[in-house]
Homo-oligomer: A and B are copies of this chain.
Amino acid sequence: MKGITRERIVAAALELLNDEGMDALTVRALASRLGVRASALYWHLRNKQELLDEMSTVVMRRVTDAVSAIPPSESWRDDVAAYARVLRAEYLRHREGARIFSGRRVSDPEIVRAKESWLARLTAAGFTLAEADDVLDLITAFVVGIVIEEQERTQSSPGRYSLAERDAWLGEGAELVKAAGHLRDQGDARFERQLGIVLDGLDRAGPRSPSSPSEVTDTRTGTGTAAVDLPT
């Protein structure tokens, strides 16, 4: 009936985070949820930091797995959009997910190695390697930033204020701020629209001949873009 294992501990920790929030995620509360004493967890984990690292790793592994399942299309734009949606969805699954799980060093090389096929896709689409790296980095940054903002609005603990309350709180003037607040949409629609803008920017910076791989040589690296060996 017991069988406390690392995986079960981490899974329970992610549940506890969602149920009670980060402040309530204590070693003792976690142990109690697992029907065990706090000290028992220290046989499986070195300390609480290792638990948090493992939680991050699990979340990022889920991103990697979901992203690997995306079939390559003929459009890098669609592929990158799919990656962005998966990353957002996984962050959204966890309370404060973007803030907590972004920008953490991953302990599992397999997760970083998953970038390989994406770099291959993008270089095949005509990006230089340096550009392809920028694409992934920039999209990741965008998703992290927008989901942090999103989760502040939708998952913050206390009272969500209405637009009317906010208008009153803003006081006199600031009419554009108030009007913008009323125009503002949320959720998927807002995300898709802003994602489109970022992709437009990448499009412009990207492959010279959009549909077919170019022979252009990157002046910074001297690396041929279409001729790279793909280890896939």
Contact = CB atoms under 8 A, between A and B. Distances in A.
Interface of A: 99, 102-105, 109, 112-113, 115-116, 119-120, 123, 129-130, 132-134, 137-138, 140-146, 148-149, 151-152, 156, 169-171, 173-177, 179-180, 183-184, 193-194, 196-205, 220-221, 223, 228-231
Contacts of A173: 113, 116, 231
A197 B141 CA distance: 13
Nearest to A198: B201
Contact of A202 (B149, B156, B201, B203): B201
Nearest to A173: B231
Contact of A144 (B113, B148, B198, B199): B148
- Copies of this chain per assembly: 2
Contact of A138 (B99, B197, B220, B230): B197
A180 to B, nearest CB: 4
Contacts of A105: 152, 156
Contact of A183 (B113, B115, B133): B133
